[in-house]
Structure 1
């Protein structure tokens, strides 16, 4: 899914990632670590939103810079704040917006929108104003916009951070479901991280541990106690 060889990244004059070398082929990968450790920069680099300053990066067999258009087609991004992703006036319109680059005929577009809304339990809200939804419903709407595109990879940056326990579990269940997509997810929720197959632990811009999610998370949690 993702291969990095000596990858580094700068934001302005600050080096935020350095020496990242890894080969990920698991379907679900959690990215954990302290604030400022480089987690979000890493997943934004994978999504093509940040350019590496050094090293080689391959995502789904693509170069994120040279193959930017194809990467955008195959990768969906889900952020912690769904309001940053909701732009259309109604729920159905907002989901349909994600399909605009595919240039589908109206019947196919409507079918896929309806299927995505049903999958996330939002069919009854199709004609409702998007910003009238609750916080949990908005995050489900953001997932609709991601899943309606049928991506190969979903990159999620703290997708449950602002949700109550019930909605956090619902969003996590949809993200982790085996429906044909891989998942790369930044999270501070260690229980959620343990549900992934693999985990990466970042510290000071580097990957300091990589392996089976439960093992990596347990070691990180034990270090926090110490």
Structure 2
């Protein structure tokens, strides 16, 4: 289970001329247990929801308080946490590091499948399961936005993480590909924790939390929490 215990995140910022450095608070005193299978965070840009997600695999370290993922602290056991937590970014080009989807998924499988030919066969099978067999050896720059995001997701899931964290995964996608990714996320066996502006995607969750000014301001069933967020934005 994911737990946040009194977590705050502060970063240094330059002060006025001659006044040195100050601090900016990105998250303030967040305490949460997240046992649900599907959890969504919604909030305006700059609200802190992406920072909160990045705490869960050690991309951001808490300034105070503690984060636990199945009892492991990302600050002291980042490697162990990252084996359990897969992270999908908004822009798939920021994490597709190899020239083709096939090579990228193969890279993910290197630790678990030593034989090169077996690894390539396994990578092809995983891409085919996502409907990407026809683009497996194409340049990632020739893929559509939806194909790139599915390729990135396939590479992350290739190592079979227990938890998938996704930071605004549908933001760069058109309607068709948003619907495809929404269906894929719904069908996964993993616990899925995501931040999103896509309120239809958030509505699929078991629990929705609204982030504003670095704090959780609403937390509950999707209908209730989304209504609170929409009222805030109005």
Q: Is this a same-fold pair by TM over 0.5?
A: yes
TM-score after normalising by structure 1? 0.93
Tell me, yes or no, if structure 1 residue 209 matches structure 2 residue 218: yes
CA distance in 2, matches of 1:78, 1:130: 16
CA distance in 1, matches of 2:200, 2:73: 33
Tell me, yes or no, if structure 1 residue 200 matches structure 2 residue 209: yes
CA distance in 2, matches of 1:30, 1:201: 9
CA distance in 2, matches of 1:159, 1:142: 10
Tell me, yes or no, if structure 1 residue 5 matches structure 2 residue 30: no
Q: What stretches of structure 2 of length at least 5 have no aligned partner?
A: 13-22
Tell me, yes or no, if structure 1 residue 63 matches structure 2 residue 73: yes
Counterpart of 1:128?
A: 138
Counterpart of 1:218?
A: 227
Q: Work out whether residues 5 and 30 of structure 2, in 8 Å CA contact, stay in contact via their aligned partners in 1.
A: yes
Q: Work out whether residues 95 and 113 of structure 1, in 8 Å CA contact, stay in contact via their aligned partners in 2.
A: yes
- Give the C-alpha shift of residue 99 in structure 1: 2.1
**Dislocated runs of 4+, deviation >4 Å:** none
TM-score after normalising by structure 2? 0.90
Bigger Cα displacement from structure 2, 44-53 vs 8-17: 8-17
Q: Work out whether residues 94 and 145 of structure 1, in 8 Å CA contact, stay in contact via their aligned partners in 2.
A: yes
Tell me, yes or no, if structure 1 residue 186 matches structure 2 residue 200: no
SS of structure 2 residue aligned to 1:102 = coil
Q: Work out whether residues 116 and 147 of structure 1, in 8 Å CA contact, stay in contact via their aligned partners in 2.
A: no
Counterpart of 1:157?
A: 167
- Give the C-alpha shift of residue 112 in structure 1: 3.0
- Give the C-alpha shift of residue 107 in structure 1: 4.9
SS of structure 2 residue aligned to 1:191 = helix
Q: What stretches of structure 1 of length at least 5 have no aligned partner?
A: none
Counterpart of 1:78?
A: 88
CA distance in 2, matches of 1:103, 1:163: 32
RMSD: 1.5
CA distance in 2, matches of 1:220, 1:79: 23
Partner residue of 1:24 out of 16, 26, 34 = 34
Q: Indicate the structure (1 or 2) with the bigger Cα radius of gyration.
A: 2
- Give the C-alpha shift of residue 11 in structure 1: 2.5
Q: Work out whether residues 218 and 228 of structure 2, in 8 Å CA contact, stay in contact via their aligned partners in 1.
A: no
